[in-house]
Structure 1
Amino acid sequence: MPKILVIEDEVAIRRVLIKILTEENKEYEVDEAEDGLAGIEMIRKEDYDLVLCDIKMPKMDGVEVLEASAKVKPDAPFVMISGHGDLDTAVHTMKLGAYDYISKPPDLNRLLNTVRNALDKKELVSENKRLKKKVSKHFEMIGESEAISRIKEMIEKVAPTDARVLITGANGTGKELVAHWLHEKSDRSKAPMVEVNCAAIPSELIESELFGHVKGAFTSAVKDRAGKFETANKGTIFLDEIGDMSLSAQAKVLRALQENRISRVGSDKDIKVDVRVIAATNKDLKAEIEKGKFREDLYHRLAVIIINVPALNDRREDIPLLIEHFAEKVAGEQGVQQKRFSKVAIKLLQEYDWTGNIRELRNVVERLTILGGDEVSEGDVELFASK
Structure 2
Amino acid sequence: MTPVVATVTTVVLVGCVALITPALARPTLPFGVRVPDDRAADPAVIAQRRSYVRLVLLAMVLFGALAAAFGGLWPAAFGATCLALYYRAHRKVRAAKRTGQWYAGRRQGVTVHTSFRSDPVACPGPGSCPRSRSPSPPRRSACGATTPCPPRWRPCTGSGADPARRAPTSAFTAFEPVLLQAVVTVAFPALTLVLLRARPDLDAARPAGSARRYRVYLRGMARLSLLGAACVNFSLFIAALRLWEVFALGTAAAVLPLAALVLGPLAWEWRAGQGGHRLPRLPGEEKEDSGLVQRDDDRHWHLAGTVYANRHDPAVVLHARFGQSWTLNLGHPVAWAVVAALATLVLLALTGIIDLPERHGLF
Superposition TM-score, scaled by structure 1 size: 0.21
Structure with the bigger RCO (C-alpha within 8 Å, sep 6+) is 2
Q: Which structure is higher in helix share? A: 2
Q: Which structure is higher in strand share? A: 1
